[in-house]
């Protein structure tokens, strides 16, 4: 692990030193938070996690990384959990049963819903979820769109699990740099259709975006294997 002066001693990483900013509320009324970049630079991007409530390793990783750096060195805006209701309920969807990553206002939004794989060992994607009663029907989707409009990030990196790859067709070279940093293969798609996804919405508004898929990994292992990369990501002003 790097030992630059922007990284705290392990004994000092237990709590946050600064409070996040509320940008909305979930279906069940949980606050939606982001930590603002401290660089005040037009190069600042936005890093998000927890869109799927059952994908918690990336939340733990980014939380650990943020608590491990000096907060003044945070170069990009950070949302640890897009879907706090899903995190607390232990479900992939939000509290309305909607897959938030199929709820964005894009041309290929599919009102018939979506399916996902119960776990990595299941041969089929056959567990059904709603994609919402209309495009951007969910308060979490609406709030994320509004905060992005407010922040105007240069790019967005969305953390997911468990496909172990970097999904990117961006023209800024973000995918290549993330592939090198996290030692994950770079792909141009994840092998199945994703109608109504956040990434498709970003492409529609010409916002460079990358989906970073961690492998299926425990919270204990993720902070051992990827913490240094996550700290570098949060502190590099021109990623």
Show the domain range for 61. 10-235
Instruction: Judge whether 190 lies within some domain.
Output: yes
- Count the domains in the chain: 1
Q: Is 0.75 topped by the overall pTM?
A: yes
In a domain, 221, yes or no: yes
Does 122 reside within a domain? yes
pLDDT for position 2: 44
Tell me, yes or no, whether 2 lies in a domain: no
CATH of the domain at 175: 3.40.630.10
- Residue environment code for 52-70, b if the CB has 16+ CB neighbours within 10 A, otherwise e: bbbbbbbbbbbbbbbebbe
C-beta separation of 207 from 155 below 8 A: yes
Per residue in 181-230, pLDDT tens? 999 999 988 777 889 999 999 999 999 999 999 999 999 999 999 999 99
Q: What is the pLDDT along the chain (239 residues), one digit of tens a residue?
A: 444 567 999 999 999 989 999 999 999 999 999 999 998 889 999 999 999 999 999 999 999 999 999 999 999 999 999 999 999 999 999 999 999 999 999 999 999 999 999 998 899 998 999 999 999 999 999 999 999 999 999 999 999 999 999 998 766 789 999 999 999 999 988 777 889 999 999 999 999 999 999 999 999 999 999 999 999 999 998 77
**Is residue 15 included in any domain, yes or no?**
yes
Catalytically active residues, by annotation: 213
Residue 229 in domain: yes
Contacts of residue 99, defined as CB under 8 A and 6 or more positions apart, other chains included, come to: 52, 92, 93, 113, 114, 116, 129, 130, 131
Inside any domain, residue 50? yes
pLDDT at 4: 52
Q: Is residue 3 part of a domain?
A: no
């Amino acid at each position: 692990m790097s030992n630059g002066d922007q990284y705290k001693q392990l004994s000092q990483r237990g709590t946050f030193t600064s409070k996040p900013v509320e940008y909305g509320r979930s279906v069940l009324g949980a606050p939606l938070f982001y930590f603002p970049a401290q660089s005040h630079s037009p190069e600042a991007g936005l890093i998000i996690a927890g869109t799927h409530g059952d994908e918690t390793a990336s939340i733990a990783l980014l939380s650990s990384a943020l608590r491990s750096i000096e907060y003044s060195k945070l170069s990009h805006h950070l949302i640890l959990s897009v879907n706090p209701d899903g995190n607390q309920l232990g479900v992939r969807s939000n509290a309305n049963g909607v897959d938030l990553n199929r709820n964005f206002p894009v041309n290929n939004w599919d009102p018939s819903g979506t399916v996902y794989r119960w776990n990595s060992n299941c041969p089929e994607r056959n567990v059904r979820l709603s994609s919402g009663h209309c495009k951007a029907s969910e308060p979490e989707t609406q709030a994320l769109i509004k905060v992005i409009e407010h922040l105007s990030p240069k790019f967005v990196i969305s953390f997911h699990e468990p496909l172990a790859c970097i999904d990117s067709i961006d023209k800024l070279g973000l995918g290549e740099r993330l592939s090198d940093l996290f030692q994950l293969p770079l792909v141009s798609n994840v092998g199945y259709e994703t109608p109504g996804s956040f990434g498709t919405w970003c492409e529609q508004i010409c916002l460079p975006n990358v989906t970073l898929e961690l492998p299926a990994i425990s919270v204990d292992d993720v902070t051992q294997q990827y913490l240094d990369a996550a700290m570098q990501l949060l502190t590099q002003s021109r990623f």
